[in-house]
Structure 1
Amino acid sequence: MSIFKSLKANPSNSSANTALLMRNLYFVRAAFALVWALGLLSLKTLPALVPILLILYPAFDAGSSLYDAYVHRASKNTLAQKTNGVISFLAVLAVLVVISMGVPAILRVFGVWAILTGAIELVTAIRRWKELRGQAALVFGGAVSILGGSSFIVLAGHSTSGLNSLAGYALMGSWQFLFSALRLIKQARQNTLTDLH
């Protein structure tokens, strides 16, 4: 039985399934951020492929946010995830608009996007603390995202700034999601035991 079927078939076990689904999402996001960062760093000699990566990152975040909202649909409190998805989709459009304007414009778009999504991530992680725990890394990640986004905007004013800072940001995100996924393994087990009693 798939996790999705289990979620529908066993509503009494929903907290454990939510933890499992979020754990899987965090593992996927960790792997994606790692591959994306390594790809960005390695494609300096193939600049024609860099725009694809710059569009792909916020697009993947938009999809992840909507999936997150789907997983938490029973809570009727998915405004933050949906808002994050919309902001990430708007970031995709913004990157498409400024992609030919150079690195400073791209850094500014990523900066604004990181600040907005970081603020949402921070608030969401704090609100989920009682339900899922395992959110410390996401609280930290939200704060880092806000600081990172601010630094992108500052760096955009320097003519020597490149895209390496974006790769560093993605690597930090990879660690954050990996840590959260590992924490949720334990939380999923605890929730399963609680739901069975």
Structure 2
Amino acid sequence: MKNVDSTPAYLSNTWLQTYYLLRFAVSVVWIILAVVLGRHNPAIGATLLVAYPLWDALANYLDARKSGGLGSNPPQLLNVIVSVFVGIAIGWSLTFGMAAAIKVFGTWAIVAGLLQLAVAVRRWKTAGGQWAMFLSGAQSAAAGAFFFKQAGSGIPLDVTTVAPYAGFGAVYFAIAAIWLTVRNARQRSRALAR
């Protein structure tokens, strides 16, 4: 006899809904700190630049843990490893200047975007809002290439160079959270109507 999971879809997606809202909130706070403090204080800006991929590593770890563990989620496991490594690499690259750090950040944005695409594809049939995560991953990869262009352009760079990237990410996480909220509410209503 097969063991069938009888958990309603809206309950199994509750974590994902909360996760996307958390990602949105942290992104908004990061952007505010970058614009208000980081652009005027290089030490705070550097700290925020290093913190961004480290937060991504933690967020992916938390999500994977709630979604079957890192062993069941290879793209998230790889994202955790890469993001921790990149956080350290950004700290080191800052000793060479902001352009070097933006190039490292750009490399990470490409890799993290591709990994986010992989996670969205894996969740496509089981969770709502994955089209937003798919777009977010694609935009992240494209933004990474744009960071390389900016880093080589000679324009002044600081932590706010990546603030629009964080802003787009926040929007995608908000869309996914709203999508899941509406979907879960509909599924809950249908379940209660039976």
- With structure 2 as the length reference, what TM-score do the two structures score? 0.87
Partner of 1:77: 72
Deviation, 1:14, is 6.6
Check whether the contact 1:12–1:195 (CA below 8 A) recurs between aligned residues: no
* Aligned residue runs from structure 1 range 170-181, under 5 A: 170-181=166-177
Residue 49 in structure 1 maps to residue 44 in structure 2: yes
Code of the residue aligned with 1:37 in structure 2: it is I
Using the alignment, how far apart are the partners of 1:94 and 1:173 within structure 2?
Answer: 22
Check whether the contact 1:19–1:187 (CA below 8 A) recurs between aligned residues: no
Residue 12 in structure 1 maps to residue 9 in structure 2: no
- 5+ residue gaps, structure 2, are none
Using the alignment, how far apart are the partners of 2:53 and 2:191 within structure 1?
Answer: 36
* Aligned residue runs from structure 1 range 30-179, under 5 A: 30-43=24-37, 44-73=39-68, 77-163=72-158, 164-179=160-175
Deviation, 1:190, is 4.9
Deviation, 1:112, is 0.6
Cα distance change of structure 1 residues 194 and 124 upon mapping to structure 2, 3 Å threshold = farther
Cα distance change of structure 1 residues 13 and 76 upon mapping to structure 2, 3 Å threshold = farther
Check whether the contact 1:148–1:169 (CA below 8 A) recurs between aligned residues: yes
Cα distance change of structure 1 residues 76 and 85 upon mapping to structure 2, 3 Å threshold = closer
Check whether the contact 1:114–1:146 (CA below 8 A) recurs between aligned residues: yes
Partner of 1:188: 184
Secondary structure of 1:82's aligned partner: helix
Aligned pair count reads: 187
Code of the residue aligned with 2:98 in structure 1: it is V
Cα distance change of structure 1 residues 70 and 190 upon mapping to structure 2, 3 Å threshold = farther
Using the alignment, how far apart are the partners of 2:65 and 2:191 within structure 1?
Answer: 21
What is the aligned-residue identity percentage? 29
Partner of 1:22: 16
Cα distance change of structure 1 residues 38 and 74 upon mapping to structure 2, 3 Å threshold = closer
Secondary structure of 2:72's aligned partner: coil
- With structure 1 as the length reference, what TM-score do the two structures score? 0.86
Check whether the contact 1:37–1:170 (CA below 8 A) recurs between aligned residues: yes
**Which runs of 4 or more aligned residues in structure 1 lie more than 4 Å from their structure 2 counterparts after TM superposition?**
190-197
